[in-house]
Structure 1
Amino acid sequence: MAVVDDKRLVNRIQQIIEDVGYDCEVVEIVPLEKQASGPADEHNKLFKVSASVGGMTCASCVNAVNEQVKLLPFIKSFNVSLMNNSAEFVITEPKVNVEKIKESIEDAGYEFSVVSVMPVVTVKSQSRTVNLSVTGMFCR
């Protein structure tokens, strides 16, 4: 099975599998699924928060910050950089949650200051599932 965003890739995938010595047959190409789009909900919008984190001197410090922020349920993803003394968070509801991040990091003993808060622009990608039958694959 392969998930592709462009139907034209199916033949290329099949050719690559055959080029390495296996027989490959396209069994099924599942059509694109329609994605429902409802009204924009302010609570579901995501925001990228860039911040300066002071006081980190080693990997253990980064781990301490990571442990603090991973407990916050509104953080969708984050990255803490020792080299840049910075962090980036993808969150919901920044008006409330940026302060919670700040408190959490400062409670761990580090300095925190917001550099920027920007809305995350998401592009809905469409993909389709392609089921392939590959024969001749076995271990000796």
Structure 2
Amino acid sequence: MSTASYTVTGMTCQHCVAAVTEEVSDLPGVTDVQVDLASGGLTVTSDAPVDDDDVRAAVEEAGYELAGR
């Protein structure tokens, strides 16, 4: 089990949270995604470490930016 935390910018509402959650959840091996709208926090839990570039691509697909880990 692996957990990684990131910061997402550009989210303003629960729809934003849902979009990021949906895209990141689709990554192979991801078992849980937690998004905190207030802080922009994104926590990804997976069977094995997920590549940061894959997380970035999923967040960008949702329409937001990954500000860092």
| TM-score of the pair, normalised by structure 1 | 0.45
1:73 is aligned to 28
1:121 is aligned to none
Structure-2 separation of matches of 1:84 and 1:55:
11
Kept in 1, the 8 Å contact 2:3–2:49? The answer is: no
> Given residue 101 of structure 1, which amino acid in structure 2 is its aligned partner?
V
Identical amino acids, percent of aligned pairs: 31
Greater Cα radius of gyration, structure 1 or 2: 1
Kept in 2, the 8 Å contact 1:49–1:114? The answer is: no
Count of matched residue positions in the alignment of Structure 1 and Structure 2: 68
Kept in 2, the 8 Å contact 1:51–1:113? The answer is: yes
Deviation at 1:114, TM superposition (A): 3.3
Deviation at 1:100, TM superposition (A): 0.6
> Given residue 77 of structure 1, which amino acid in structure 2 is its aligned partner?
D
CA deviation digits over 1:75-128, x for unaligned, max 9?
12110110111110112134xx2211111111221010332xxxxxxxxxxxxx
Return structure 1 stretches of 4+ with deviation > 2 angstroms. none
2:68 is aligned to 114
1:36 is aligned to none
CA deviation digits over 1:42-94, x for unaligned, max 9?
xxxx2211100100000011011111112112112110110111110112134
Structure-2 separation of matches of 1:113 and 1:55:
10
Structure 1 gaps of 5+ residues are 1-45, 116-140
1:52 correspondence with 2:10? no
SS in 2 for 1:65: helix
What does residue range 1-140 of structure 1 map to in structure 2 within 5 Å?
46-91=1-46, 92-94=48-50, 97-115=51-69
Kept in 2, the 8 Å contact 1:56–1:62? The answer is: yes
Kept in 1, the 8 Å contact 2:33–2:45? The answer is: yes
CA-based RMSD of the aligned residues comes to 1.4
